[in-house]
């Protein structure tokens, strides 16, 4: 893929739509492009976040096996972000993250993620909206006893 292809992919992710092209280029150059085969463990439960992942294609799942043997799952699809919540809270991952399909992701290192938050108000607002949307879906699922996905 060329840098222009990477920028075009980034523009498909809602958090990056408002970023000016020079910033998108910086993200594309500084972000680490990763590919995971289905079944690959990406993050271990209890691991500290070192970066934020943007799912460019495919699906991954955050899961935690409870003491009663039941497993709770939360799915992230193309265009989703994960790793931001534990990084912003300075907490470890509450479950393991596994690719449920072949997936590609862009991993932004901690420093670049926080630089974007500090220097680009539109990025901070987009992240806030994304976090609020996820919180709303989670609250709705918990309150209505629906499956969280």
Tell me if 48 is assigned to some domain.
yes
Structural domain total, the chain: 1
pLDDT, residue 149, reads 54
Give the pLDDT confidence of 66-115 residue by residue, as tens digits.
888 888 888 999 888 999 999 999 999 999 999 999 999 999 999 999 99
Q: Over 90: is that where the pLDDT of 7 sits?
A: no
In Å, what is the CA distance from 34 to each residue of 29, 61, 76, 121?
Answer: 13, 16, 16, 27
Token pair 């974007």 in the structure block, residue: 116
Contact assessment for residue 55 and residue 103, using Cβ atoms and an 8 Å cutoff = yes
Tell me if 112 is assigned to some domain.
yes
Q: Over 80: is that where the pLDDT of 133 sits?
A: yes
Q: Mean pLDDT throughout 42-71?
A: 92
> How far is residue 26's CA from residue 112's CA, in Å, rounded to a whole number?
9
Distance in angstroms between the alpha carbons of the first and the last residue of the chain: 31
Distance of CA 25 to the CA centre of its chain: 19
Tell me if 115 is assigned to some domain.
yes
Tell me if 114 is assigned to some domain.
yes
Q: Over 90: is that where the pLDDT of 38 sits?
A: yes
pLDDT, residue 24, reads 86
Tell me if 149 is assigned to some domain.
no
* Average pLDDT over the chain, rounded to an integer: 89
> 100-124: string of b/e by CB count within 10 Å (b at 16+)?
beebbbbbbeeebbebbeeebeebe
Q: What is the CATH number of the domain that holds 90?
A: 2.60.120.10
Structural domain span for residue 57: 3-143
Residue 146 per-residue DSSP state = P
């Amino acid at each position: 893929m060329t840098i222009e292809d990477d920028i075009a992919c980034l523009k498909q992710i809602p958090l990056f739509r408002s970023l000016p092209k020079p910033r998108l280029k910086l993200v594309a150059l500084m972000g680490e492009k990763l590919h995971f085969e289905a079944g690959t463990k990406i993050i271990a439960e209890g691991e500290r976040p070192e970066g934020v992942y943007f799912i460019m294609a495919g699906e991954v799942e955050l899961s935690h096996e409870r003491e009663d043997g039941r497993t709770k799952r939360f799915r992230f699809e193309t265009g989703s972000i994960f790793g931001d919540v534990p990084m912003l809270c300075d907490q470890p991952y509450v479950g393991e993250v596994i690719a449920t399909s072949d997936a590609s992701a862009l991993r932004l290192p901690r420093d670049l993620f926080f630089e974007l938050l500090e220097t680009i108000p539109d990025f901070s607002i987009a992240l806030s909206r994304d976090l609020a949307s996820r919180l709303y879906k989670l609250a709705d699922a918990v309150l209505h006893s629906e499956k969280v996905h």
